[in-house]
Structures are given as C-alpha cells and as structure tokens.
A = this chain, B = another copy of it.
C-alpha cells in the first residue's frame, strides 16, 4: 500500500503548475457519512486565475500539437504511475468526501490509471490519427495534387469533474486522458463535492507535466464554490471544447452557453439517462429470481449513483409475478446508502415523495448523514405512456417497473423513449427473435445495447460506446469511455503538396511509425518510396 500522505493539500487552485496564493469565495468538502466538514478550506479561482490558465494553455497547445504520440504516451504513463503511487491517499480522501466504499474507490483508482495507460497504448500504436494519403498524378487533366490528412488536436479543452466518479470521471478521468492524448492542454474545473481528491489528482498530473518536460500550461485545476469559474471558462474565446459529466440542467446550460458564443465550440456533456431494461416473457419464465437479483444489484450499485443505473424496467404483467415478488423482497432487505452530497440526497427525497403513490417496496432506513432508503415503484404500461414525468431520471437507489399488457405495449413504450446511454434486453434467444423490432427501435435510442447483462459496470475497452442520443448526452456522435474517446477532441487537417520534410511523421511516405494508413484508398502499413 502506498503512503497516505504523499501530497499535502493546499486548498488552492493550480494554475499552469503553480499553486494559487489567494482566491475568492471559500468552501469546504463534506463527509456524506455524517455531514461534517473536511479541512482544508478551499478558495474559488479568481478571474485572473481563469485568464492565466487559458493564456498558458494557449502557449502549451502549440508545443503539445508538435509533440510525438510517444512523448505524450510517456506523459500519460507518468500520470498513471503517479496515480497508483498515490492510491492510498486518493482512496482515503475520496472515501471521506463521497462515502463510496473503499473497495469501489480502490477499483476506481485502478480504472483511472488504466485509462491513462489505454490511451498511452493507443498513442504508441499510432494508427488512431487516421492518416490518409492520396498521391499526386501530374499527368492527369487537371493535374492531381498530393493530399494527406490526419487528426489533429483542437486546442485548450475545459473538463468538468463529475460528483459520482471522483477519480475516473474527474480531474484525471476519461475526458482529461483523451484530451491530453490527442494533444490538447486541459483546464479542469473541480467538482466542489470532492475538492481534496481533486487536488491530489491535480498534483499527480502537475508532477507528470514537469517530469515529461511539457509546458506548465498543459494542465490547470480550478476550484469554485459556485458556477462562475465554469461559465467563464466555457465563454473564454480561446477555449476550444468542453467535456462535462453531470446533471441534465448543468449540461444543457453549458451547451446553451457554448452555442451562443461568438465562436460556438463543441460540448461533450453526459447528462442523464434512465437506461431502460426490457424483460421478455421466456426469460421471466425460466429465471425470474436471477433476473430480479441482477437488476436489484444493478440499480442499487454505488447507491444508484451511476449514470448507467437501470431506472426503468419494462415487463409483461402476465409473466412477472415471481419476478416482482423477488424484487420487492430484495428491496426490503437492502440497507440505506449515504449519497454523495446533501443536494443529491435532498433531490432524491423530493423525487421519492413525488412518486409515493406508486411505491411498492422500500429498504431499511438510516438517519445519519446524507442517507437514502432504497425504493421500488410500479406502474402500468398505460400509466407510463400517459405520464411523461415517469420517464425522468431519479438519481439514487430506486427503479420503476412498468407492467405492460404484452410485448406489443413494451414496443410502444420503447418507441416513446428519448435518448439513453444504454438499453437492455433480458431474454432468451427465442425472445430476441420474436422481438426483432424492439431491438431495432432500441438501437435508435441508445449508445449501447445490452443483451442479458446489466448496464452498470462500463468496460473500458476499444469497442465501448458510453454516449447516446440527446438528452443522455449533448452529442451522440461520441463516447466518453474507451479508446474511441480520443476522437472527440480532434479534427482532420489536410496537407496539399507539402514537402516530406514539412510533414508530421505519420504522413511521411516512408511511414517511419509503421502505422496503418489509407494509401490511395487502401489500408496498409507499407512504407512507400517517394510517391
């Protein structure tokens, strides 16, 4: 186990590698388990901090854009090693700031460093730049020019830390990893619910920036008790893109801010999803207890504070008696959870009260800290189809079962859905064959379709898509998890007629990196003589 006091917390923003001396409005971290405050006091970043973080990021952007993939890979590996070395301190502080269990946080630290290493391996392999080369044909009429293109970085990226993943979707999380990997400087606006964890991760990155010889402006970490710093960053003319994970309201506000700029910029906001699950008849007949146990485990995991929590379950009423009995009894046995913040706990309580008339089971109570009882609701398919608000996400350990008259009504319900991160079908292969249209409809509603699995637990891999149509995200053309996330902070640039010496190695005819490229329309790793 690593030392639990590797880093000292200063309670200040880090601007281009330097700890801010002063600051604005003060705030503290809180312990959700008992509501007590945590030291040190944190000071909000000032207008000058914002200006200086962006100005230094602009300077760093040019150096990063000229760095090689291998240099950036070494930098990401240095961050990963730093996170692992600080693991004990990160877990201890994150546990106090979030009340998430230590094993979950230990896993999240490993996920965070492994994400960095995944992007490092993508950079080392090098083909991700999608190099395309069309060679010249001077004999053609008109002469055909030599054109080569590859993906290039966008420039300074602002990342908002998420409350529910204090590590893997926060300061050193997926958006930071993918933005740095693609060669963009990053300015993180820390989530105020876990400032200490944020500062620790920030110090790890600052150390790695120094060791790797990148400019200080490669990374900044700004604190804020309110929303001013985030808004100022998103409106700043030199900021080029935004990554955000949080509430629908927060995400939409950033989207609107970015779209109304004189120069609009892309916002990748992961906002909210109820992750509908469709349980089909044959599966219910064969294994209703196992399905109920799986779903219960999934909707209560981490106190139901996952963006992929299954918050809507559609089942055919005639086959679901045993399934519902088991769901009720599992819910009744479940202990209460400490939620992440008093705000989340309060919103949960409010929404639970709104749905009171549909309550069919609740878990054990606990009155300390930001506590929440597990709740299970049930409505009919007709009710669901007529009451829009039943589709809304309720963040926390709760789910709503929709008892449908038959699979035709389940299909109707599927058609009525908005965009989600995931959609799940639990069924036999026969069920699937009998409900092909359901699969096709769900494909248009989600970023990831799951068959006989549960949506929580998002594998970090090459094929992963953690995204989905609005309002699940601001931009369903992208993923925030997995190696494809590197594409979000890039744009293609073409080079026409440039001499070999002025081209980046990825586009030189001799293919010094040995990467996969499209050469006159065919994918190949071949090194070519001068074309």
Contact = CB atoms under 8 A, between A and B. Distances in A.
B145 A459 contact: yes
A422 to B, nearest CB: 8
A518 interface: yes
Interface in A461-485: 461-465, 467, 469-471, 474-479, 484
Contacts of A436: 502
B493 A447 contact: yes
Nearest to A504: B443
A148 interface: yes
A502 B463 CA distance: 17
A25 interface: no
A411 interface: no
Contacts of A531: none
A277 to B, nearest CB: 13
B463 A145 contact: no
Contacts of A210: none
A263 B497 contact: no
A499 interface: yes
Given A448-B496, A459-B144, A523-B127, A443 B152 contact: yes
Contacts of A66: 440
Interface stretch (A157-165, A353-361, A450-458): A450-458
Interface string A490-527: 11111111110110000000000000101011010000
Given A134-B463, A444-B155, A470-B264, A492 B502 contact: no
A256 interface: yes
Nearest to A127: B523
A463 B148 contact: yes
Nearest to A62: B440
Closest 3 pairs (CB-CB, A-B): A259-B259, A465-B494, A132-B463
Interface of A: 61-62, 65-66, 121, 127, 132-134, 142, 144-145, 147-149, 152, 154-155, 255-256, 259-260, 263-264, 266, 418, 429, 432-433, 436, 439-440, 443-444, 446-453, 457, 459, 461-465, 467, 469-471, 474-479, 484, 490-499, 501-502, 516, 518, 520-521, 523
